[in-house]
Amino acid sequence: MKSYEVNFDGLVGPTHNYGGLSYGNVASQSNSQQSSNPKEAALQGLAKMKALMDMGFQQGVLAPQERPDVAALRRLGFSGTDAQVIERAAKEAMPLLVASCSASSMWVANAATVSPSADTADSRVHFTAANLNCKYHRSIEHPTTSHVLGAMFANQQHFAHHAALPAVAQFGDEGAANHTRFCREYGEAGVEFFVFGRSAFDNRFPAPQKYPARQTLEASQAVARLHGLRDEGVVYAQQNPNVIDQGVFHNDVIAVGNGEVLFYHEDAFLETDKMLAELQGKLAKVGGNFQSVCVPRSAVTVDDAVRSYLFNSQLLSRADGSMLLIVPQECQANERVWAYLQSLTSSGGLIREVKVFDLKQSMQNGGGPACLRLRVALNETELAAVNPGVIMTAPLYGSLTAWVEKHYRDRLSETDLADPQLLLECRTALDELTQILKLGAVYPFQIN
Ligand code: SUG
C-alpha cells in the first residue's frame, strides 16, 4: 500500500504579534515589542503550503486558536463581560494579556507528537497533544489543539488521541520539535528518535545553566508508552545542554531527519557516536540503512545555526529518492551557511536541492519552516480517513487566501491587543474558518 508523509502546516492566527514571551528563544526576545503584520505572516505560511503542494507533496492545514484567550484570563481572576476582562487585564497585567493573545499555536511542530500506525502496538496512528508547559502562553494551547486534531483525525479505527501529559515541569513536553522518525518507507516500521533537554528525576544527566530545557526524558518516555512503541523501535538522546544555553530551545533548531537520513550539527547532542550507532543498529533491524550528515562547527557555528535556522528546514523525499531542503531566506543571508548549502548540494550526496522561502514574520518569533509543520505519516487508507476539509488543494488555497485578506490586520502592536474589537474580529474569522475547513465546533466560543 502507498504511504506518505503529510505536512500539516499551522495557519498563522489573526493576533500574530511579537510579545517577547519565550525566554531562551533568541528571536522572540530580540524582536519583542516590534509591530507585526499578521496578514503578511499568514500569507507567507500559505505560500509555503501552496508551493509544497505544487511540487507534488501531500499538504494539509491546521487551524489557529481563539485569541485573546478570555477563558484563560478568567481563570487568572479577571471578570465581567469579555470586553471588561480584556480592559482589566490591559490595565492591571499587560504581560498576561499579551500572553493570552499569542498566536503561538502556528508552530504546530509543537502541537503534538505523532507515531504512525506501522510503529504502534494497536496499528493506529497515535497523537499526544504537547503540554508546552515551559511557557505560560503556550501551555494554554493544548485543549484546543486536542479539539482541532480530533476534528481532523476523527476516525477512531485509524486514529488514537491522548490528552497532554501532566502539566508540570517534570513532564515538560514540546511535541514533535524533539521527535524525529527514521524509516525506509513511511508505511513500514521505523525508529522513533526522542531528544530531551534534561531528566526530571535522574540527576546524572547534565542540564543547561542559563536557558530552560523544555523537554524532559520522562515526558518522552511517557509518550512512547502511550503510543505503544516497541523498545526496539525507540532511541532516546540528550541534547547538548551547552547549545540550549546558546538559544537552541528545541532539537529542531539543530537537527532534522527524514527517511533514513539525519542532518545535524556537530554540537547538537551528547554521546553522539553511541546515539548514531544505536540509530544505525535499530534501523537495520527493520531493513533500513541509516545515514547521517554532520555539519561541522568549522563550517557553521551554533550561532549561525540559531540565526539562520539552517536545521529548522524541511527535509523532503522526492520521487527519485533524492532529498530537498526547504530553508528560510535567513540561510541565504548568512554567508557561511549559504556556502555550506552550496557545497552540500553539489557534493553528490542525497540532499540535492535547496529551496528558499520568505517566512520572516514567523522567523522573527523563532519559528522557521519546520516549526510551522506537523508531520503525519499515513498510508492510503488512513489518508482517506482524514477530514478532507483540511487537505490543501488549489481551491482551498484560494479560499484561505481570500479569508486572510478579508479578516486580518496588516499591523498589530501591543496597544492593539487591548482593543476588545480584536476578539470579535478573531471570532468572526475563526467561525468562518471552521466552515471552510469543515471542522465543526472546535473553539471555546463555539462550544460553550
Ligand atoms: O515556543 N515562539 C515559539 C517558537 C516555536 C518554534 N518551534 C519549534 N522550534 N518547533 C516558542 O518559543 C514567541 C512568542 C512571542 O514572543 O510573541 C514564541 O512563542
Q: Print the domain residue range for 159.
A: 3-67+102-447
Q: Which of 174, 192, 218, 330 is catalytic?
A: 174
pLDDT tier for residue 244 given thresholds of 50, 70 and 90: very high
CATH number of the domain enclosing 22: 3.75.10.20
Residues with Cβ within 8 Å of residue 445, at least 6 apart in sequence: 66, 427, 430, 431
Average pLDDT over residues 46-67: 98
The residue contributing the CA closest to ligand 1 atom 19 is: 104
Is a pLDDT exceeding 90 seen at residue 448?
Answer: no
Within a domain: 89 = no
DSSP-derived pairing of the beta strands 59-62 and 191-196:
unpaired
Number of H helices, E strands in the chain: 18, 15
DSSP state of 443: S
Cβ atoms of residues 362 and 372 within 8 Å: yes
Q: Which of 158, 250, 265, 407 is catalytic?
A: 250
Within a domain: 285 = yes
Within a domain: 303 = yes
C-alpha cell at 402: 481570500
Give pLDDT tens digits for 19-30.
Answer: 999 999 999 999
Residues with Cβ within 8 Å of residue 235, at least 6 apart in sequence: 191, 192, 193, 194, 275, 278, 279, 282
pTM score, whole prediction: 0.98
Ligand 1 centroid to Cα of residue 185, in Å, is: 31
Sign of CA pseudo-dihedral 324, 329, 332, 337: negative
Find, among 398, 445, 435, the residue nearest to 151 by Cα.
435
Task: Quote the pLDDT of residue 24.
Answer: 96
CA distances from 234 to 80, 159, 183, 253 (A): 50, 20, 12, 21
Is a pLDDT exceeding 80 seen at residue 42?
Answer: yes
How many CB atoms are closer than 10 A to CB 296? 11
Is 425 one of the catalytic residues?
A: no
The residue contributing the CA closest to ligand 1 atom 10 is: 371
DSSP H or E run through 324: strand 323-328
Half-sphere exposure of 24 (CA within 13 A, CB side): 19
Average pLDDT over residues 50-62: 98
> How would you list the strands of the sheet with 261-265, edge to edge?
255-258, 261-265, 291-295
Within a domain: 78 = no
Task: Quote the pLDDT of residue 155.
Answer: 98
Average pLDDT over residues 72-82: 98
CA-to-CA distance for 359 and 357, rounded, in angstroms?
6
DSSP string covering 58-76: -EEEE----SS-HHHHHHT
CA-to-CA distance for 332 and 335, rounded, in angstroms?
7
Sign of CA pseudo-dihedral 47, 52, 58, 62: negative
The residue contributing the CA closest to ligand 1 atom 9 is: 371
Within a domain: 427 = yes
C-alpha cell at 330: 535567513
Ligand 1 centroid to Cα of residue 102, in Å, is: 10
Buried residues in 393-411 as b, exposed as e (16+ CB within 10 A)? eeebbebbeebbeebbeee
Q: Which of 9, 22, 244, 311 to mutate to test the pocket of ligand 1 (most atoms within 8 A of CB)?
A: 22
Is a pLDDT exceeding 80 seen at residue 204?
Answer: yes
Give pLDDT tens digits for 318-358.
Answer: 999 999 999 999 999 999 999 999 999 999 999 999 999 99
CA-to-CA distance for 441 and 434, rounded, in angstroms?
7
Residues with Cβ within 8 Å of residue 271, at least 6 apart in sequence: 237, 238
What is residue 359's three-state secondary structure?
A: coil
Give pLDDT tens digits for 383-441.
Answer: 999 999 999 999 999 999 999 999 999 999 999 999 999 999 999 999 999 999 999 99
Q: Is 371 in the pocket of ligand 1 (CB under 6 A)?
A: yes
Is a pLDDT exceeding 90 seen at residue 180?
Answer: yes
Average pLDDT, the chain: 98
CA-to-CA distance for 263 and 310, rounded, in angstroms?
10
Is 179 one of the catalytic residues?
A: no
Percent of the chain whose predicted confidence (pLDDT) is above 90: 99
Within a domain: 255 = yes
Q: Which of 15, 26, 104, 140 to mutate to test the pocket of ligand 1 (most atoms within 8 A of CB)?
A: 104
C-alpha cell at 345: 548540494
Cis peptide upstream of residue 68 (ω within 30 degrees of 0): yes
Is 265 one of the catalytic residues?
A: no
Within a domain: 95 = no
Is a pLDDT exceeding 80 seen at residue 271?
Answer: yes
Q: Is 100 in the pocket of ligand 1 (CB under 6 A)?
A: no
Task: Quote the pLDDT of residue 92.
Answer: 98
Percent of the chain whose predicted confidence (pLDDT) is above 70: 100
Within a domain: 313 = yes
pLDDT tier for residue 84 given thresholds of 50, 70 and 90: very high
CA-to-CA distance for 74 and 86, rounded, in angstroms?
10
Average pLDDT over residues 294-307: 98
Domain count, the chain: 1
